[in-house]
Amino acid sequence: MKKIILLLFLAPLLFTSCQYFENLVPSEKELLQKELKAINWKEVDEFPSVANCDTIEDKTLRRHCFFEYMTQLIQQKLSVDTLSILYPELDTIDVKVTIFPNSTLQFEPKFPKDSVVYDAIKIDSILKARLVGFPKINPAIKRGIPVKTQFILPVILKVE
């Protein structure tokens, strides 16, 4: 008789206890939303890189190496003649660089909004003609996936 009473007493606990465990496990959607909110989409895990900088272990130094390399290469390609002849007063140009996940590059000149002195279309066509033949650039990485990045490099055209 004691066993039956004890069993009747414990039976409701056994049947209702499973509900407590169900509520403790969040759904896939909740986990996904929580994870997406935790990710900082404005920063990448690894910056773009070139072979010359890949051997550097420190992330900050590797990033600095990459930006120095890109700036010097763009300066070298643009210093040939065309821009300095067309615009002798132009000593520095900001170039918006876009690196796509498939390692392709896109360059776009950036001017102050109030600047009407320069022909942006002509300068853009010069950039497209001169800024070709770059070595392979490894795209930035976010959570193990190549991603598109954009940055603006100040390129000095006149070195005196």
Which one is predicted more confidently, 159 or 59? 59
pLDDT at residue 24, rounded to an integer = 66
pLDDT in tens, 41-98: 778 888 899 988 888 889 899 999 999 999 989 888 877 666 666 777 777 788 899 9
pLDDT at residue 130, rounded to an integer = 82
pLDDT in tens, 96-146: 999 999 999 998 888 766 555 667 777 778 888 888 888 889 999 988 889
Between CA 107 and CA 115 the distance in angstroms is 19
Between CA 131 and CA 69 the distance in angstroms is 14
Between CA 22 and CA 159 the distance in angstroms is 69
pTM summary value: 0.70
Where are any strands of DSSP class E within the chain?
92-99, 105-110, 140-142, 145-147, 149-156
Which one is predicted more confidently, 153 or 90? 153
Take residue 61 and report the two structure tokens written for it: 């130094």
Take residue 156 and report the two structure tokens written for it: 């000095």
Between CA 83 and CA 157 the distance in angstroms is 8
Per-residue confidence at 148, pLDDT binned at 50, 70, 90?
A: very high
State the virtual CA torsion across 56, 62, 68, 70 in degrees, nearest 10: 100
pLDDT at residue 114, rounded to an integer = 55
Q: How many other CB atoms sit within 10 Å of the CB of residue 51? A: 11
Residues paired with residue 97 on neighbouring β-strands, in sequence order: 107, 151
Per-residue confidence at 6, pLDDT binned at 50, 70, 90?
A: very low
Between CA 73 and CA 46 the distance in angstroms is 21
